[in-house]
Amino acid sequence: MIEPNLTEFGTVLIFILGAITFVSVGLIAASIIRPKKPNYEKLTTYESGEETIGTAWGQFNIKFYIVAIIFLLFEVEIIYLFPWAVIFGDQELIQGTDYTWAWFAITEMFIFIFILALGLAYAWRKGYLDWVKPVNRVSDFKSPIPAEAYQKYKD
């Protein structure tokens, strides 16, 4: 390698630290040259000119949580896929055990993935995956384009 005095993770560390330093240096530099004249109007929250009502920190559509939960499970399953993926097809092991290893590993993982897919199927079937669709109100505006022309873009 080019930097023999660094471990591989050292390099990674350099990238991370470097990024941080770059940003902070930039910020400092900017703070030197940039003006600072705050006033109330400037510091209000932007809502296209409307007066903000209340705070934004409230509850969300439950769907967000559900997506989060499903993601969590899948991501965690992928943890197991990675170690398996790098070893199951290993030439020495497969030839050393004349394919017993390969078939064993693959069967195991297929069962695993099958159950995983079953979970997805469950979420799908029970309708946890379909997002609330916006109701489309037909406006009274008479446009030259016939309404059904839009139809194929909706849903």
| Among the listed residues 4, 44, 51, 147, the single contact to another protein using CB under 8 A | 44
Cα dihedral: 101, 102, 104, 109 (round 10): 140
Min. distance of Cβ 39 from another protein in angstroms?
A: 10
Report the residue number, 91 or 143, with the smaller CB distance to another protein: 91
x/- letters, 5..34, toward another protein (CB under 8 A): -x-xxxxx-xxx-xxx-xxx-xx-xxx-xx
Residue pair 136/154 in contact (Cβ under 8 Å)? The answer is yes
x/- letters, 60..79, toward another protein (CB under 8 A): x-xxxx-xxxxxxxxxx-xx
For 107-118, b where at least 16 C-beta lie within 10 A, e where not — what string? eebeeeeeebee
Residue 56 binds another protein (CB under 8 A): yes
Residue pair 70/123 in contact (Cβ under 8 Å)? The answer is yes
Report the residue number, 82 or 141, with the smaller CB distance to another protein: 82
Residue 124 binds another protein (CB under 8 A): yes
| Among the listed residues 4, 49, 51, 55, the single contact to another protein using CB under 8 A | 55
Q: In the 8-state DSSP scheme, what is residue 144?
A: S
Tokens of 19: 């990024």
What CA–CA distance (Å, rounded) separates 45 from 134? Answer: 27
Report the residue number, 117 or 140, with the smaller CB distance to another protein: 117
Min. distance of Cβ 149 from another protein in angstroms?
A: 15
Q: What is the CA radius of gyration of the chain?
A: 28
Among residues 71, 55, 51, 54, the alpha carbon closest in space to that of 63 is found at 71
Residue 150 binds another protein (CB under 8 A): no
Q: Which backbone phi and psi does 9 adopt, to 5 degrees?
A: -65, -25
Within 81-120, the residues that bind another protein by CB under 8 A are 81-83, 85-102, 104, 106, 109-110, 113, 115-118, 120
